[in-house]
Amino acid sequence: MVIKKLADNASFLVLTAIRPAIVFAGLIMIKIYFIKHPY
């Protein structure tokens, strides 16, 4: 029970840490795309 709770907390922390990095990378990719393909 305790181990499962720790595992859930760990996975939640990992997701919380990774999500902003994914969003940040996505914004950079979009910015680069628009710089390379201006309308």
pLDDT at 31: 94
Domain count, the chain: 1
Domain of residue 13: give its range. 1-38
**Statement: residue 3 has pLDDT above 90:** no
**Statement: residue 38 has pLDDT above 80:** no
Note the pTM of the prediction, 2 decimals.
Answer: 0.51
pLDDT digits (tens, 9 = 90+) for 7-36: 898 899 998 999 999 999 999 999 999 998
pLDDT at 37: 82
3 state SS for the chain: CHHHHHHHHHHHHHHHHHHHHHHHHHHHHHHHHHHHCCC
| DSSP designation for 36 | H
**Higher model confidence: residue 39 or residue 2?**
2
